[in-house]
Structure 1
Amino acid sequence: MRTEARPVLAGRHLKWTLEQRQAKTGWMVHIDWLRFTVPLDAIVKREPALVDLTALDLLEQSARDVVRMAAGVECAEYTSAHKVAEAGARLIASLLDCGIEPGEALEKGMDFYSARAPLVFAGETVGFVLAGGKATTQSGTVHVNLFGSAMLHVPVDRLDGLREFLVANDGNITRVDLALDVFEGRCIDEVRMAYLAGDFDVRGKRPGQREIGSWTLGHSRTFEVGSRQTGKMMRAYEKGDEKLGPEADDPWIRYEVEFRDNHRIIDLDVLTRPSDFFAGAYEFCADMLEQLRVNANACRIPTVPEVADKTEEAAVLRVARWIKRTAAPALSVALSLGGDLLGQILDQEGHRMPKRLRGIKTDALRSAFEKVAEAMAPASSPSLSGAV
């Protein structure tokens, strides 16, 4: 591994920093992005001035006005959400203890939270702490978003403390990106060949994929597998082209697995054993670590079938209700008087999928349609799913 590089430009400085980090810690796989949520109590119980705040106090002004008019409840100043965001930023900066500093809350929130306070490293915003919201379910939580530029500076031993904090406060990870940087000796074309060979197949099924960038000219390329809707995707891309420019012809490749809490409960151990969960994402990932002689005990983050089933069934139900409310009259006329019209339309447009159903596997869709048809059938009528 090269460690003699010296920071010259921002891209080379990043590469140098990552090489030094690998050499110092022995961690080939590192956390590049992290988002997590904790209950409001995890923040306010640590500051005497905030201990009396509740989720109701952190509702947006319009929501609080509705509550006040309906029940005569008096709430704290709207700035409560901003104060909690700032308190959260102070707490996270203290936990990480790596030069990241808390900033003052900004006027506008983000991600449906009403207030945000930045986390700053050397004058650069590297994350946010979010608080407040339109509903008590959200205003009763605090959300932390740590960019890759934040995680780059967090020592690995601080991640143990962060995990303990989440365990102690019933926190949950909503997104984590696990990154493997290989600085020489690999080619992104290998990923496409591995995909075609079935190295990304899951239980015999091949996930979707996407190619981005200049594949014809052979630079700045990204190969993606999976989707965010399912909670797991991998992207491999030519990081050298991104950070140093194609003219540098640098062979640096990044392999990145992104987990989200869509249909999944992300194990908190991912903070302290990122290589294990990287290896467990796809067979390709495990093979890559083995080739690089990285010891890893592959651990999967499984889907939650019940959650996935309910989500798929809800999506199909919305489509069925739209058909019944909006398209049923036209369909009825076309079926009775249209002759081959519907068949012709299906031949021409059958490849299209409603947006809300995209990303759902065919078998799961079929099962969801059967359940919805059974639920919508009149009590005296047999289910069409069993018709012959």
Structure 2
Amino acid sequence: MGENLEGARADADAHVWASADEDLGEVSLVMTDSGEIKTVMVRKPSSSQACIIDWINFTVLEDTFFKTARQTLVTDDQIIEEASRQFEKIFGFGITGKRDRGMYFYRESWVLGDGMGFVCFGGQRSTMLVNLSGQGCQNAVGGWEKRLFDFLTTVAVRPSISRIDLAHDDIDGRYLSVDWAYDQYEQGGYTHKAGGRPPNIERVGNWTRPTGKGRTLTIGLRSSSKYLRVYEKGRKEGDKSSPWCRCEVEFKNTNTVIPFDVLLNPTDFFAAAYPCFAHFVHVDTPKRMAVKAKTAQITVDACIEVTKHQFGKYIRVFRELWGDKEALDLICNETEDYWPKRMKPLTSNATSGPVPVHKQAPARVPSFLQFITAVPSFGLNGENGFV
């Protein structure tokens, strides 16, 4: 493959590799089914648990759900219901409602859980894309990484991970900061080879006179297969004096194959991302629940401060006029979905939120289609299946 890359495909692929703007170090090359040459994510064995998965996008063929349902699913609603049933087994929450528009170039999209991510379906070669956001990763039932690995490797038809974010937190700010991250750039800490081309760098926020709103350092290009964000997480959440800093690497399958093993051993791939990560990959990152508890503490304190600043005077007058109970009854929101968007992550878990679609009223199948029960060899859109 090395000869092909230098020879026949050199001119065709030159623009791809020149635009990557990233040094991947020692890599292995593979050829995909479509004939593309891609690198495989680098792995460096580690004994610690230095990161958590904070975001994942993956795709599977719709045939996956014919397989799990053990019958032909005729309508899109039936496929979505079966997908919801499977995702509830994996994450603890299923698909809860349809959105009014598509996303990620898919024709339609649905909400996963109580705003834990999205499911996209329709118009993309019979594939389904699942997006589990940072909130979804945080609130999924423990062990979801192993269950998803098992699903993708033993059940799913033609699965692929298109994006995964790995994050390391230093809640006390003992060794990780945006200033440390910038110093590492000056020292070549993001370049694997001596004298190699340094990646793109950007500083976001007020670095000259910090305002407490938080600063961010990014390494690489957002369009690249690897993109680093180091930011003041605590200040972003609302605590202007918090030392909490997060280091987050976003991997995409633009020019890289993301192996399923990253779900079981994320630290091995995180450790190999940049040379400077050797400074802290041997330190265990806080457990997911510790991160959630810290986020909750900062969020509640910030919400109290905002309420006190904007409405404190009104509330105090209402107490004097009507007393505590009547005043609260007057000003409380009466809608069912009364939790503010900012505070929803504090209570969201696998058992809360809207009812998933597979537990709602079943989708109606036209009577003239109910005779179809056999599973076609290659799905509804396959050459040997129903057209």
Could you say which TM-score interval applies, normalised by the shorter chain? 0.5 to 0.7
* Pairing 1:229–2:223 present: yes
Structure 1 residue 116, shift from structure 2 partner: 1.7
* Pairing 1:193–2:179 present: no
Question: Secondary structure at the residue paired with 1:278?
Answer: helix
Cα-to-partner distance string for 1:67-113 (whole Å, 9 max, x where unaligned): xxxxxxxxxxxxx334433432332122223xx23213233221111
Cα-to-partner distance string for 1:141-170 (whole Å, 9 max, x where unaligned): 111000100100234522112112111223
Are 1:32 and 1:151, in contact at CA under 8 Å, matched by a contact in 2? yes
Q: Which residue of 1 aligns with 2:112?
A: 119
CA distance in 2, matches of 1:188, 1:265: 29
Q: Which residue of 2 aligns with 1:142?
A: 128
Q: Which residue of 2 aligns with 1:39?
A: 61
Aligned ranges for residues 11-160 of structure 1 at < 5 Å?
27-47=49-69, 51=72, 53=74, 80-97=75-92, 100-120=93-113, 124-133=114-123, 138-160=124-146
- Aligned residue type for 1:40: E
Q: Which of the residues 263, 270, 273 maps onto 1:278?
A: 270
CA distance in 2, matches of 1:279, 1:27: 10
Q: TM-score, normalised by structure 2?
A: 0.56
CA distance in 1, matches of 2:80, 2:68: 13
Q: Which residue of 2 aligns with 1:327?
A: none
CA distance in 2, matches of 1:108, 1:86: 18
Structure 1 residue 48, shift from structure 2 partner: 5.5
Are 2:95 and 2:112, in contact at CA under 8 Å, matched by a contact in 1? yes
Change (3 A) 1:128 1:83: farther
Cα-to-partner distance string for 1:37-90 (whole Å, 9 max, x where unaligned): 0111112332356x255xxxxxxxxxxxxxxxxxxxxxxxxxx33443343233
Q: Which of the residues 197, 210, 221 maps onto 1:205?
A: 197
More helix by share: 1
Are 1:233 and 1:257, in contact at CA under 8 Å, matched by a contact in 2? yes
Cα-to-partner distance string for 1:293-332 (whole Å, 9 max, x where unaligned): 68xxxxxxxxxxxxxxxxxxxxxxxxxxxxxxxxxxxxxx
% identity of equivalent residues? 31
Q: Which residue of 1 aligns with 2:368?
A: none
Question: Secondary structure at the residue paired with 1:46?
Answer: helix
For structure 2, the residue ranges without an aligned partner over 5 or more in a row are: 1-47, 286-387
- Aligned residue type for 1:192: Y
CA distance in 1, matches of 2:73, 2:262: 34
Question: Secondary structure at the residue paired with 1:230?
Answer: coil
Change (3 A) 1:293 1:102: closer
Are 1:89 and 1:117, in contact at CA under 8 Å, matched by a contact in 2? no
For structure 1, the residue ranges without an aligned partner over 5 or more in a row are: 1-25, 54-79, 295-388
CA distance in 2, matches of 1:88, 1:109: 17
Q: Which residue of 2 aligns with 1:172?
A: 160
Q: Which of the residues 243, 260, 280 maps onto 1:268?
A: 260
Question: Secondary structure at the residue paired with 1:254?
Answer: strand
Q: Which residue of 1 aligns with 2:303?
A: none
Q: Which residue of 1 aligns with 2:375?
A: none
Question: Secondary structure at the residue paired with 2:84?
Answer: helix
Are 1:38 and 1:172, in contact at CA under 8 Å, matched by a contact in 2? yes
- Aligned residue type for 2:83: G
Cα-to-partner distance string for 1:113-149 (whole Å, 9 max, x where unaligned): 11222111xxx3111111111xxxx141111000100
Q: Which residue of 2 aligns with 1:349?
A: none
Q: Using CA pairs below 8 Å that are at least 6 residues apart, which structure has the higher relative contact order?
A: 2
Are 2:190 and 2:274, in contact at CA under 8 Å, matched by a contact in 1? yes
Question: Secondary structure at the residue paired with 1:286?
Answer: helix
CA distance in 1, matches of 2:97, 2:85: 10
Q: Which residue of 2 aligns with 1:69?
A: none
Cα-to-partner distance string for 1:229-256 (whole Å, 9 max, x where unaligned): 221011100001101232xx01000000
Are 2:110 and 2:118, in contact at CA under 8 Å, matched by a contact in 1? yes
- Aligned residue type for 2:186: L
Structure 1 residue 223, shift from structure 2 partner: 0.4
